[in-house]
Amino acid sequence: MSEPPLQDNLTGHEYDGIREYDNPIPGWWTWLFVAAIVFSVLYYMAYQLGTAGTSVAQAYDAEVTANLRMKFEEIGTLTPDEPTILMYLNDKEWLLFGQKVFVGKGACASCHGKDGEGLTGPNMTDDAYINVKRLGDVGTVIQHGANNGAMPAHINRLHPNEIVMVAAYVASLRGQNKPGPRGEEGSVIDPWPEAPAPQAPVEPTD
Amino acid sequence: MTTTHTTAPTDPALSVPGTLERFTYDDKIVRMFLLATLVWALVAFLVGIIAAVELAFPQANQLLSILTGGIVSSEYITFGRLRPLHTNAAIFAFAGNTIFAGIYYSTQRLCKARMFSDLLSRLHFWGWQLIIVSAAVTLPLGITQGKEYAELEWPIDIAIAVVWLVIFGGNFLMTLIKRRERHLYVALWFYIATIVTVAMLHVFNNLVIPVFGGTLIKSYPVYAGVQDDFMQWWNGHNAVAFFLTTPFLGLMYYFMPKAADRPVFSYKLSIIHFWSLVFIYIWAGPHHLHYTALPEWASTLGMIFSLMLWMPSWGGMINGLLTLRGVWHKVTTDPVLKFFVVAVTFYGMSTFEGPMLSIKSVNALSHYTDWTIAHVHAGTLGWNGFMAFGMMYFLLPRLFQTKLFSKKLAETHFWLGTIGILLYIIPIYVAGLTQGLMWRGLTDQGQLLYPRFIETVTQLVPMYWIRVLGGTLYMAGTLLGAYNYYMTWRSRPKTYEEPVHEAPALTKGYTDPPPPESKIHGVTDFGHKLDVWMQFQWHRKWERLPVRLTLWVLVAVVVASLFEIVPTFLIRSNVPTIATVGPYTPLELAGRDIYIAEGCYNCHSQMIRPMLAETERYGEYSKPGEFVYDHPFQWGSRRIGPDLAREGGKQSHNWHVLHFKDPAQITPGSIMPPYPWLLQKDLDFKSIPLRVKAMTILGVPYTQAQRDNAEELARAQAAMIAGEIVEQNGEAGLEDKQVVALIAYLQRLGTDIFKTPEPQAPEGGD
């Protein structure tokens, strides 16, 4: 294969046998470089010189508002007390929501097992409880913790509605009697009260 | 040869010839550095493979410990301790020795001069190897500053500054001054930029206050939180720029035209891309910190300068690839050129991907994932590694004055390496995208689609195994290279010939050629001036004045740095203070030092970004004011495990005890190794007052009582936590063990901002 003839001019420089062509800088290189500079100036002006609504914090706030609306628009903000928990105890859709909080955001599964069967924390699927005497206590323990921090408080970590749903989910596990490493702990308590008949969504509280 | 003609006048016509001098080149030092390159390459790759196996198979460190008969305790080879060893070995040992071998070989020839001092050259070699060995000893022992790519502790840092700047820099600059070639070739400009900038970065990022006492090798950086992290990524990013890019571009500019026997494509492009690269690179560091607590203006600057860096980087690639015009057929037969072409191609790929990853919305997906890991390995294995091996095959016959033992083996090395790189990066790109998308996936109800972090980990394990295969192939290629090296060395002559060269000494009375005239018509005077300027004769003058050239490089990098550093440090609004954030207690501080020593930051970030998917998973996003007492910052760059910024109070003390003992027992599928020694080893209570004292010097507001009674306070808090562990049905007798300090630290993380008077849930109502 023969070398194609090259018309380029040499600069006349030579270093240890290395020579240099005097070729011009490719046009596409120059123009992409210029375009990047122009874009950068415009971008900085658009985002950093005080344009309203463009900051990361503002974008985040909008995202959170939209997300809360998507999640809770139909139910408003709930109070994690016994009647409210009871109301959601048989609501399949919201129990699924509670289950996601249980394994995820609430980090409950890390101690109580993925399905509530117990691990370093007690089994949630049997009829015996340590700090729960009635349904409302489930919400209280989740909010404020128990047993000297063995059960951490979640009041700063979860939205009140998330506490309601995860409490309802935990309560719904009762009676599944999944085998876990810890066995029955505490004492057997009375069954949960009868769930009310499904009803129309409650009025938003705010 | 082809039809070429010369336009510019040649130098000899213009200068008075000096007296003819005779000299030889010091090739022994090149042989020494080349051997060190190969040895450290194998070490770096082996450690990399072990670290890779540990991610796929977390019991690997225990298994390895058993296989070595317990000589290597599993404590010293956890991923958290091996990963810094791998990065330091790959960058500073393998790439470092490559650079030195190439610079010592090419500088002497480009300057027509032997290195200024053979003694300095030897001191450089042995000093650098000693630094590497001390890194290899201290990092597994957990002696670390806890900042990525700046892990080495202060005594080693001082050694690096002396060996790099004084010995290597001095020797190099004096060689330039003693040179017999009037003008400096572009490769030398890149070497100058490397030496000057790495010295600056290294010194300013490693300003620390040592903790003195006993055998403790420990220090705290003078910067905290946002500022420490800003300085660290100014350093970290520019280590890539000025340790893995500029010196290797210099090597390319020397070895590529040499191996191809072709002139460099464009002198003008060399000038423009050199200066734009040097000036722009320095700004780009903050792109490692998008969406973090770093002020947004700095992050935006990091992004736009990264975009502007695209063409300056590609200038090097096209100048390299277009140099091969007309000789592409040689690439098919010459392994040296094969390595170079693939290296430059990977350089082009990485320097396109880099600006792309610096775009905020892309970075939102890629940050903390394996995507970054794939990106850097395309750069290091492809660009740095293949430049090193291409250079090695070029040098072997010349240094050992014999034929290369086997061209065929070199070809095999090339193919093993190339397939190895692909088998490394493709699965890791897939892993990065998978993980990024799984983290942010939301259900129709607005909840996380994969709420359990472990699901996003176990999904990646098959990819991690393919990476092990890729890395092993790459190392197998290197072993073939080592064999080829050894066999070539064996057939060396009894004594090396040392050819004597002749060149006239440079004389003082040099006049530059007259300024060129503008040949374009129909433009204004300014147009003519611009045209003349674009002939770059002004630059040609700089090229014969090395000290001036060096000073201009220094000005370029210092000015660019100050534009970002000064506002970051001086504008108070950059770090709004939070009244409830206080210093760590003495015990928590000791626990934090264990966190750093174990290298937890290599897998766990402590920086929640303001994104829904992050706050849903980890809690309220991190604020700059939360880190004002963090010397050093521990934001991390990768989430092999979950973020820990809000870990405080998330789990019980006893959960942590059990989890440290055996993470997989608590989280099935966990790839975190067990840390049983934390429950067995005594906490060094005696050193706690020294740590508190050093922090006080840095301005952390410890009370007089805390300073006077640091040890007693720590013991009291430890006893309290140990008591709580027992109450939580945990094991007794942990009050003087390391685990208690570490738990104290973890339980403090991210809790201070909730101490506000109004007990408001982090997300409030709608």
**What domains appear along chain B, each with residue ranges and CATH number?**
23-258+360-490 (1.20.210.10), 586-753 (1.10.760.10)
CB contact under 8 Å between A159 and B257, yes or no, is: no
Q: Contact, B20 vs B503, CB < 8 A?
A: yes
Is there a contact between B485 and B397 (Cβ–Cβ < 8 Å)?
no
Say yes or no for a CB contact (<8 Å) between B616 and A32: no
Question: Would you state the pLDDT for residue B251?
Answer: 98
Bridge partners (DSSP) of residue B503 are: B21
Nearest to B132 by CA among B109, B147, B151, B148: B151
- Is residue A204 scored above 80 in pLDDT? no
Q: Nearest CA of chain B to the CA of A200: how many Å?
A: 19
User: Could you give the CA distance from residue B255 to residue B34 in angstroms, rounded to a whole number?
Assistant: 15
Q: How many other C-beta atoms can be found within 10 angstroms of the C-beta atom of residue A23? A: 20
Phi-psi region of B590 (alpha: psi -120 to 50; beta: other; left: phi over 0): alpha
CA atoms within 13 A of residue B237's CA, in its CB half-sphere: 26
Cis peptide before B632 (omega within 30 of 0): yes
Residue B274 in contact with residue B267, Cβ under 8 Å?
no
Q: Say whether A120 and B655 touch across the interface (CB within 8 A).
A: yes
Amino acid in position B659: H
CA distances from B558 to B201, B553, B554, B762 (A): 10, 9, 6, 42
Q: What is the pLDDT, as a whole number, of residue A67?
A: 92
Query: Do B763 and A159 count as a contact with CB atoms less than 8 A apart?
Result: yes
pLDDT digits over B15-38, tens only? Answer: 556 789 999 999 999 999 999 999
Work out whether the CA dihedral B431, B432, B434, B439 comes out positive or negative. positive
Q: Do B724 and A148 touch (CB under 8 A)?
A: yes
In angstroms, the CA B232 to CA B537 distance is 39
> Within 10 A of A199 (CB to CB), how many other CB atoms are there?
7
How much is the average pLDDT of B105-133?
A: 98
Q: Tokens for B169, please give them.
A: 């820099």
- Per CB-CB distance under 8 Å, the chain A contacts of B722 are none
Would you call B617 an interface residue with chain A, using a CB distance cutoff of 8 Å? yes
Nearest CA-CA partner of B121 in B26, B39, B188: B26
Return residues 714-733 of B near A (CB < 8 Å): 724, 727-729
Cα angle vertex B497, ends B495, B498, to 5°? 125
Query: What does the alpha-carbon distance between residue B432 and residue B426 come to, in Å, rounded to a whole number?
Result: 10
Nearest CA in chain A to B649: A152
Quick check: B263 and A70 CB within 8 A? no
Contacts of A109 in chain B (CB under 8 A): 452
Chain A residues whose beta carbon lies within 8 Å of the beta carbon of residue B10: 12
| pLDDT surpasses 70 at B758 | no
Give the whole-angstrom CA distance, residue B284 versus residue A88: 52
Q: Which residues of B touch A35 (CB under 8 A)?
A: none
To the nearest whole percent, how much of chain A has pLDDT over 70? 89
Other Cβ atoms closer than 10 A to B711? 17
How far away is chain B from the Cα of A199, in angstroms, using its nearest Cα? 21
What are the strands, taking DSSP E only, across B385-512? 501-504
Record the tokens describing residue B120, joined without a space: 């300095």
- pLDDT (mean) for B530-552: 91
What is d(CA B732, CA B162) in angstroms, rounded to the nearest whole number? 50
Question: How far is Cα B703 from Cα B289, in angstroms, rounded to an integer?
Answer: 33
Distance in angstroms (rounded) separating the CA atoms of residues A54 and A38: 20
Residues of B in contact with A72 (CB under 8 A): 766
Is the pLDDT at A200 greater than 70? The verdict is no
Structure token pair of residue B221: 């950086």
**Nearest CA to A72 among A84, A90, A60?**
A84
The 10s digit of each residue's pLDDT in A52-93 is 777 888 889 999 999 999 899 889 999 999 999 999 998 999
CA distance A192 to chain B (A): 27
A78-188 is classed in which CATH architecture? Answer: Orthogonal Bundle (1.10)
Least confident of A32-41, B187-196, B560-569, B696-705: B560-569
CA of B762 vs chain A CAs: smallest distance (Å): 6
Q: How many CB pairs under 8 A join A and B?
A: 232
State how far the Cα of A111 lies from the Cα of A123, in Å rounded to an integer: 9
Give exposure, B652-681, as e/b (b: 16+ Cβ within 10 Å): bbbbbbbbbbebeebbeebbbbbbeebbee
**What's phi and psi for A204, nearest 5 deg?**
-60, 140
Is B652:A152 a contact under the CB 8 Å cutoff? Answer: yes
- Letter for the amino acid at B563? F
How many separate helices (H) and strands (E) can be counted in chain B? Answer: 33, 4
Tokens found for residue B271: 């000038």
Candidates B361, B447, B653, B755, partner chain A, best to mutate (most A CBs within 10 A): B447
Q: In the prediction, which pLDDT does B756 show?
A: 59
Write the pLDDT tens digit of every residue in A110-154.
889 989 999 888 999 999 999 999 999 999 999 999 888 889 999
Domain with CATH 1.10.760.10 in chain A: 78-188
- 3-state helix, strand and coil shares in percent for chain A, rounded to the nearest 5: 40, 10, 50
Give the other-Cβ count within 10 Å of B530's Cβ. Answer: 13
Residue B763 has pLDDT above 60, yes or no: no
Q: What value, to the nearest 5°, has the Cα angle with vertex B292 and ends B290 and B296?
A: 65
Among residues B452, B490, B48, B323, the alpha carbon closest in space to that of A6 is found at B323
Query: What pLDDT score does A8 carry?
Result: 75
Q: Does B327 touch chain A (CB under 8 A)?
A: yes
- Using one digit for the tens of pLDDT, what is the confidence trace for B206-239? 999 999 877 789 999 999 999 999 999 999 998 8
The whole-number pLDDT of residue A104 equals 87
| Disruptive mutation site among B265, B267, B303, B394 for chain A (greatest number of A CBs within 10 Å) | B267
State whether B308 and A36 contact (CB < 8 Å).
yes
Helix B79-88, helix B28-56: angle, nearest 10: 150
Exposed, middle or buried, B71 (CB in 10 Å: 0-12/13-18/19+)? exposed
Q: Do B327 and A3 touch (CB under 8 A)?
A: yes
Asked if A18 lies within 8 A of B263 by C-beta distance, the reply is yes
Average pLDDT over residues B527-540: 88
Q: How many helices (H) and strands (E) does chain A have?
A: 7, 4
Supply the pLDDT for residue B766: 39
Alpha helices by DSSP H, B441-545:
453-458, 461-490, 525-533, 537-542
pLDDT of residue B53: 97
Contacts of A40 in chain B (CB under 8 A): 304-305, 307-308
pLDDT of A198: 56
Residues in chain B within 8 Å Cβ distance of A10 = 4-7, 263
Full-model pTM: 0.92
Structure tokens at B101: 């071998």
Q: B91: which 2 tokens?
A: 């960058």
What would the mean pLDDT of B303-323 be, rounded to a whole number?
96
| Mean pLDDT, all residues of chain B | 93
Say if residue B761's pLDDT is above 80: no
Q: What is the mean pLDDT of residues B532-546?
A: 90
Contacts 24+ apart (CB under 8 A), A190-197: A190/A134, A192/A86, A192/A89, A192/A135, A193/A82, A193/A86, A193/A135, A195/A86, A195/A87, A195/A89, A195/A90, A196/A86, A196/A87
* Percent of chain B surpassing pLDDT 90: 85
Which range, of B60-69, B93-102, B291-300, B649-658, averages the lowest pLDDT?
B60-69
> Which of the four pLDDT bands, split at 50, 70 and 90, describes residue B508?
confident
**Nearest residue on chain B to A69, judged by CA atoms?**
B766
Distances (CA, A) of B149 to A31, B233, B234, B238: 35, 9, 11, 11
Interval B470-507: pLDDT, tens: 999 999 999 999 999 999 999 999 999 999 999 999 98
pLDDT of residue B745: 98
> Is residue B110 within 8 Å of residue B185, measured between CB atoms?
yes
CB contact under 8 A, A157 and B762: yes
Say what the pLDDT of residue B68 is. 87
Whole-Å CA distances, B49 to B102, B600, B641: 27, 19, 20
B183 touches chain A (CB under 8 A): yes
Among the listed ranges A188-202, B7-21, B241-255, B402-416, which one has the minimum average pLDDT value? B7-21
Name which of B286, B341, B276 is nearest B310 in CA terms. B276
Strands B20-23 and A128-129: unpaired
Residue length, chain A? 206
Whether B221 contacts B207, CB under 8 Å: yes
Tell me the two tokens of residue A26.
């490719």
